[in-house]
A and B are shown apart, each in its own frame.
Chain A
Amino acid sequence: MLPDGKHPPCVKMVMSLMPEKLLEMVKVNKHYGGVHALKDFDFELFEGEIHCLVGQNGCGKSTLIKIISGVTKSDEGSQIVMYGKTLGNIRAKHANDAGIKVIYQDLSLFPNLTVAENIAFSLNTEKGIKPVNWDEIYCVAKSTLEKMHVNLELGREVSTLSIADRQLVAIARALATNAKLIIMDEPTSSLTRKEVNVLFSIIRDLNQKGLTVMFVSHKLDEIIEIADRITVMRDGSKIGTFKKEDLNNAKLTEMLSGQSVAYRQDFSKAGDKVILEVDKLSNGSQYKDVSFQLKEGEILGVIGLLGSGRTEVAMSLFGMNKPDSGTIRVNGKQVNFKNNREAVGTGIAYVPEDRLLQGLVIDQNVEDNLSISIIDRICSKIGLVKTKEKRQLTENWIKKLNIKSALPEIPASAMSGGNQQKIVISKWLATEPKILILDQPTNGIDIAAKSAIYDIIRNLVKNGMSIILISDEIPEVYYNCPRAILMHHGRVVKELDCRTLSEDAFEQEVSYGQ
């Protein structure tokens, strides 16, 4: 129900008819304190479309969603029109009543409750003291899942479900309350290809039945696959809205970053010695029969479109995810790590995917973060830390990696994303590894820092280090790695030679070569 009591007209998705404008935003601004998160944002959303919002981390996507769903208010003077009615601002309750539902990246489900109760949870938040009607809950849940053609055990606790299934529960929950618009925030970050296919087919099906979907993502390939129209954002502004046909990966990357990365291939000659050999490594259904070799002095890319399994393999190499079967050999010797300390001792280092949660302790200072992995090594005989050496170490790395504006005593939270990542890399370089594994190292980092990190990596291999670069970004892998392995749904599909393939061919292989 709209604020004025009318019901919005229902429009079937027929291209020849003029679709109803669900939402229009004109010159919307939002300031968070001194930060201008949204700048003169113009935006249109039509009923029945699948619209994708693309942008790097920090571009204002989340702010936009919060404003649309009424969680946050936009600044004065912003004009928002919903179903033809002008509002100064959207209130959360109105948005909810009008059928606007957001599915956050963390899904916001209740892990201790059943599938049925999660889906039908809005029944619990109704007013009145009528007792809980479990039959009604199961009914609503069942019928919603049937609408989606999905089969899930209703009585199962959500904590026991896979992430893909949890996502379906989250969608069902949104649907169960007469959703007209579902906004999904980064829905595919942890899904395998197969799971993404299921998700997309459900979305298309619901869309056919009249549901409007807004998709927020930074994954260019999936956006091009599913979206009708795409809005590109950067630094709080709208770069443009395009139809799917008018875009490709390269154009998107350029728009997102604001500059084209001057990618160039600069492959140093790798040695012949095999420093790491993985043979038929398997772990449950995380990954199966993974085999590859890493030569000394090379950068090996691991790319896998929308695929999980890569991080799990990396963590197994790092001793944090014990595999069921298969072997890992470092310098010819088989290793069986019980924990990551043993991996570090063997010369393996891992820069994790989630910089803020897994890579750094952001509340503590730069020096402590940088030295934590080798702190035991810079002690005197009686066990005291050699503070001078620790300081030297920090300052050396700051200089070496050119971590601007970093001082040993300031908290890591005060640094930019790029500099934070350099600190994480320094931390691991200080352990003098032979093998460095980087997992999505330039995620959410600005262009200049990206280039700097590529330079760092290339210098490292010139000096004999071996690197595994896990990444989603096709150009990043293509231009940095002479060789790359392609993973899909937990398996190594093929090995790609970036020297001989053209970039387009490489892109083809990655996107479709399954």
Chain B
Amino acid sequence: MLFLILAICIVLVSLKQPNFPSFATVQSIAYQIPEMGLLTAAMAVTMLVGGINLSVIASANLSGIVMALIMTKNIAPGTDNIPVVILAVVVGILISVAVGAVNGLIIAHFKIPDMLATLGTQLLFNGVCLAITRGATVSGYPDSFKFIGNSTIGGIPTAMYIFALALLFLAILLKRTPYGSKVYLYGSNKVATMFSGVNDKALIIKTYVISGLFVGLAAVILTSRFNAAAQGYASSYLMLTILIAVLGGVNPNGGYGKVSGIILGVLIFQVVGSGFNILRLDSHLTTAIYGVILLLAVTVRMLRTAK
């Protein structure tokens, strides 16, 4: 079903710009897919258990800022220092994981609704970002770091390999581990799953930690591509991650959604986005259109499950 939509979109865009389906286009799209895809995966995995994670962007920004600070403070401009870069990357990912753990703990132990909890952490970590940077942008990274987001290996952007590995990991997690079974059952029916002896608290915390992991990976790629980090970056991405997740078949109420759907969702989004670019649509208008698409996506989902 999703394949069909993707195919139609590609055809439609190619009509307007005949050289759309070309290697160059694919390559340029491929640069943007990893970050969107990883953020969407971070959102999607929390939706599978019937929750939501509104702090993905704030958390990504925080990771990015910390990574940037570690690098800029320890590496003179123009030079490179790979161990420091590696340290920065690791710390960045750990921070997002920690944010995920905080989210999970608040939701599991204090029984705060996921929306409120992640709204709160979003505000908090945005605040931390602001406090650390005092509104400034941190930029100027060493080449080895920039490599991650801006280079290709064998013609495919480096980031894609990270994305592919990460999603492969997620797919295995969801399909082939006990955790995956528990996630789908819990998202479908919390009560019965708890009666069956599943530790719901552990499940939730694990889920938000995994979400945090994906956020961290996305943060590395984002920061590398933007070559700058600041509070408030990519804030419009939040709705987009929800949009793509829903587009990709994830049920916001929990229990349904596959990795393949997420991938297709991201692809469709990128194609549509490119289409908007080609039509030279104003970016504000595209934001509005995305809103309409989100409404359509949830409507379609509702109609299909009502059958």
Q: Could you tell me which A residues sit within 8 Å of B by CB distance?
A: 320, 339-341, 344, 350, 352, 357-364, 368-369, 371-373, 375-376, 379, 383-385, 387, 427, 431
**A383→B177 CA distance, assembly (Å):** 6
Which residues 77-115 in B have Cβ within 8 Å of A in the complex? none
- List chain A residues, Cβ under 8 A from B178: 375-376, 379, 383, 385
Q: Which residue of A lies closest to B185 (CB)?
A: A361
* Residue B193, interface by CB 8 Å: yes
User: 13 new A-B pairs (CB below 8 Å) besides A340-B194, A363-B188, A364-B185?
Assistant: A340-B195, A358-B192, A360-B189, A361-B189, A362-B189, A363-B189, A368-B184, A372-B182, A372-B196, A372-B197, A372-B198, A376-B178, A384-B176
Q: Give chain A nearest CB distance to B189 CB in angstroms.
A: 4
Q: Give chain A nearest CB distance to B275 CB in angstroms.
A: 36
Specify which of A320, A359, A384, A431 is in contact with B177 (CB 8 Å cutoff): A384
Cβ contact within 8 Å between B185 and A373: no
* Residue B136, interface by CB 8 Å: no
- List chain A residues, Cβ under 8 A from B185: 361, 364, 368-369, 372
Contacts known (A357-B189, A361-B189, A368-B184); A387 close to B176, Cβ less than 8 A: yes
Cβ contact within 8 Å between A341 and B172: no
Q: Give chain B nearest CB distance to A80 CB in angstroms.
A: 30
- List chain B residues, Cβ under 8 A from A339: 199
Q: Give chain A nearest CB distance to B168 CB in angstroms.
A: 13
Q: Give chain B nearest CB distance to A415 CB in angstroms.
A: 15
- List chain A residues, Cβ under 8 A from B194: 340
Q: Could you tell me which B residues sit within 8 Å of A by CB distance?
A: 172, 176-178, 181-182, 184-185, 188-189, 191-199, 255
- List chain A residues, Cβ under 8 A from B172: 384
Cβ contact within 8 Å between B177 and A344: no
**By CB atoms of chain B within 10 A, which of A357, A363, A387, A427 has the most?**
A363
Q: Give chain B nearest CB distance to A421 CB in angstroms.
A: 13
Cβ contact within 8 Å between A340 and B197: yes
Can you sample 8 A-B contacts with CB below 8 Å? A340-B194, A357-B191, A361-B188, A364-B188, A368-B184, A372-B193, A384-B172, A385-B177
Cβ contact within 8 Å between A344 and B192: no
**A240→B181 CA distance, assembly (Å):** 48
Cβ contact within 8 Å between B255 and A363: yes
**A431→B197 CA distance, assembly (Å):** 11
- List chain B residues, Cβ under 8 A from A358: 191-192, 195
Contacts known (A368-B184, A375-B182, A379-B178); A360 close to B192, Cβ less than 8 A: yes
Q: Give chain A nearest CB distance to B271 CB in angstroms.
A: 32
Cβ contact within 8 Å between A357 and B181: no
- List chain B residues, Cβ under 8 A from A427: 196
- List chain B residues, Cβ under 8 A from A352: 195
Cβ contact within 8 Å between A344 and B197: yes
The 6 closest A-B pairs by CB, nearest first: A375-B178, A361-B189, A361-B185, A361-B188, A363-B188, A372-B196
Cβ contact within 8 Å between A385 and B181: yes
Specify which of B184, B191, B197 is in contact with A373 (CB 8 Å cutoff): B197
Q: Which residue of B lies closest to A356 (CB)?
A: B192
Q: Give chain B nearest CB distance to A411 CB in angstroms.
A: 10
Q: Give chain B nearest CB distance to A275 CB in angstroms.
A: 20
Q: Which residue of A lies closest to B198 (CB)?
A: A372
- List chain A residues, Cβ under 8 A from B196: 372-373, 427
**By CB atoms of chain A within 10 A, which of B178, B182, B188, B194 has the most?**
B178
**By CB atoms of chain A within 10 A, which of B172, B195, B197, B255 has the most?**
B197
Q: Which residue of A lies closest to B200 (CB)?
A: A339
- List chain B residues, Cβ under 8 A from A368: 181, 184-185
- List chain B residues, Cβ under 8 A from A372: 181-182, 185, 193, 196-198
Q: Which residue of B lies closest to A375 (CB)?
A: B178
Q: Which residue of A lies closest to B202 (CB)?
A: A341
Cβ contact within 8 Å between B189 and A341: no
**A375→B176 CA distance, assembly (Å):** 11
- List chain B residues, Cβ under 8 A from A320: 195
